[in-house]
Chains A and B, each alone.
Chain A
């Protein structure tokens, strides 16, 4: 392995193509940490945004006018404002209202750090889109199916959990796929509040080594790969979930 890494040092000496995150163990660790931070942030946001989507879609079908209105206001607010400003709003404004905790060194620190706020804000942002996506999926479930569930004595909640949602999920998967890809790309925003994710670490490396071009191309390729893995996973999941005779 070391030979492999050393090869890039030779490459740098010979051609000037500087890839310090391969031959320098310090930069390598930074880049690996950044990569896993991006993966972690993506997974946390993916999970919570889907949860928000599922719960929101259920609330949006609520028989109560005010519940539906609140969910709609949430969707419109988060869909029509920039995610970066939302992130700043959460990280700077909301966080200033939160109580602080002792950090163990005699100082005070905010209760939630950059990572937590990035996760919260991005989940809400992607969640707003997911609600709409799931709603569209629910609308695609034939009314007669729901009526059949009603006839079998399912309540509104159990109908949603056991009948509507599993069917709606399959309809919604392609658009959900799209939105989740977007979410993974949006995690780069966490850079703005100094969460040490991939873009942030890459920035550190190119500031130290002045190799912006190489780092940029590497970053673009790695995001390309990340998104590719996600799309591949979602597509194979879509195929696995497919019910014969439902959808296309």
Chain B
């Protein structure tokens, strides 16, 4: 059999559909492309390695030396993220319920607040909280200092609040209206319907976007470094400065920070996807 007789007619192609390599693809990535890419990356990083003078500590030693401090900073990031999430969730739930309120002014105002904080950049909101909150509060002669990290926490919880509010509204809206009608026919009051019938069903649906939001918030905690909270990014900058601004340390240090966030956020992302699949509404 020669080559020509084996030529596939386009008509029968659907039977052997993609994804499968086909000879008429003009551009095909092959395994060697990957190797070439890795080779280019390694060559590119050689200057960084070559710059390492044997008299100075190697970058891995330096990184190891600073690692406990950086990890401490990262734990602080996580603490900020968890507390901001807690504040934001509580405030957002209230705001979200306000958005589905039967009282028109409450609904309008909740909607406005939600939209305002949802459409403002996180960094601007963070500045907002940093500069406009006082550095200490005086309540009944009691002085409560407001340290930077606390203000950053409030600043970050503002956008979280708005997003949670939308999640709550979306969750309630996603339920079929039959649920409301059935509850009404069973003589449940509106409050009872909401607490006993609607919200318990919503929680399951709100969980994946809520976790997604948490992951976004965790990644946003580094913004606090811009306003001077000593979290992992600030500490990284300080560590780099303390090592005398060696340029070969930049890549390992920043990669390390990226890596920290990756190993924290990636499992959350995978879990979210799994929950999404599990709770998916079958239509």
Q: Which residues in B have their C-beta under 8 angstroms from that of A82?
A: 218-222, 258, 261
Are A188 and B124 CB-contacts (below 8 A) given A67-B29, A77-B262, A97-B47?
Answer: yes
- Indicate the size class of the contact surface on chain B: 35 or more
| A191 touches which of B128, B132, B226 (Cβ 8 Å) | B226
Give the total of A residues in contact with B, Cβ under 8 Å: 54
Interface check B24, CB cutoff 8 A: yes
Contacts of B269 in A (CB 8 A): 76, 79-80
- A85:B26 contact, CB within 8 angstroms: no
Q: Within 8 Å CB of B266, what residues of A? A: 76, 80
Nearest Cβ on chain A to B22's Cβ, whole angstroms: 6
- Whether the Cβ atoms of A96 and B258 lie closer than 8 Å is no
Chain A, residue nearest B12 (CB):
A151
Q: A82-B261, A151-B10, A192-B226 are in contact. Are A216 and B124 (CB under 8 A)?
A: yes
Determine if A152 and B10 form an interchain contact, defined as CB atoms under 8 angstroms apart.
yes
Q: Is the CB–CB distance between A85 and B120 below 8 Å?
A: no
Residues on B with C-beta less than 8 A from A67 are: 29, 33
**Residue pair B120, A189 in contact (C-beta under 8 Å):** no
Nearest CB of B to A82, in Å: 4
Closest Cβ neighbor of A88 among chain B residues = B254
Bound complex: CA A230 to CA B270 (Å): 31
Bound together, the chains give a CA A92 to CA B265 distance in angstroms of 23
- CB pair B262–A185 under 8 Å, yes or no, is no
Determine whether A175 belongs to the interface, using a CB cutoff of 8 Å to chain B.
no
Taken residue by residue from 130 to 172, chain A's Cβ proximity to chain B (1 for < 8 Å, 0 otherwise) reads as: 0000000000000000110011110111000000000000000
Say yes or no for A103: interface residue by CB 8 A criterion. Answer: no
Query: What 0/1 pattern do residues 26 to 47 of B give for CB contact below 8 A with A?
Result: 1111110110010000001101
**Interface locus among B13-21, B65-73, B189-197, B199-207:** B13-21
A residues 179-225 touching B (CB-CB < 8 Å): 181, 185-189, 191-192, 199, 203, 206, 212-213, 216, 219-220, 223-224
Please name the residue on chain A nearest to B115 by beta carbon.
A224
Asked if A59 is an interface residue, CB under 8 A from chain B, the answer is yes
Closest chain A residue to B27 by CB distance?
A: A157
CA of A150 to CA of B21, assembled, Å: 14
Tell whether A84 is near chain B: CB-to-CB under 8 Å.
Answer: yes
Smallest CB-CB separation from A61: which chain B residue?
B19
Instruction: Please tell me if the beta carbons of A151 and B14 are within 8 angstroms of each other in the complex.
Output: yes
Q: Is A83 an interface residue (CB 8 A)?
A: yes
* Contact pick for A81, options B13, B27, B127, B261, CB 8 Å: B261
Contact B265 A63 (CB under 8 A): no
Complex interface: chain B residues within 8 A of A51 (CB): none
Which of B120, B254, B257 interacts with A223 by CB under 8 Å?
A: B120
Known: A96-B250, A157-B25. A213 touches B120 (CB 8 A): no
Interchain CA distance A79-B131 in the complex, whole Å: 30
- Binary CB contact string for chain A from 35 to 71 against chain B (1 if under 8 A, 0 otherwise): 0000000000000000000000001011110110010
Asked if A86 CB lies within 8 Å of chain B CBs, one says yes
Given contacts A79-B269, A155-B26, A85 and B19 within 8 Å (CB-CB) = no
Take A155-B26, A156-B18 as given contacts and tell me if A92 and B250 are in contact as well, using a CB distance cutoff of 8 Å: yes
Contact residue among B47, B225, B265 (Cβ-Cβ distance under 8 Å from A84): B225
Query: A133–B244 Cα gap in the complex (Å)?
Result: 43
Residues from chain A with Cβ under 8 Å of B47 in the complex: 97
Give per-residue flags for B126-163: 1 if the beta carbon is below 8 A from chain A beta carbons, else 0: 01100110000000000000000000000000000000
Q: 8 closest pairs, A vs B, by CB?
A: A153-B10, A82-B219, A185-B121, A80-B265, A93-B250, A67-B29, A63-B19, A188-B121
Could you pull out 27 A-B pairs where Cβ atoms are within 8 angstroms?
Answer: A59-B29, A62-B19, A62-B29, A63-B19, A64-B21, A66-B31, A67-B29, A80-B266, A81-B262, A81-B265, A82-B220, A82-B221, A82-B222, A97-B251, A146-B17, A146-B18, A155-B25, A185-B121, A187-B121, A188-B122, A199-B123, A199-B127, A213-B132, A216-B127, A220-B124, A224-B116, A224-B120
Given A94-B251, A150-B10, A151-B10, 8 other A-B contacts at CB below 8 A?
A61-B18, A63-B19, A66-B34, A93-B250, A96-B250, A150-B14, A203-B127, A223-B124
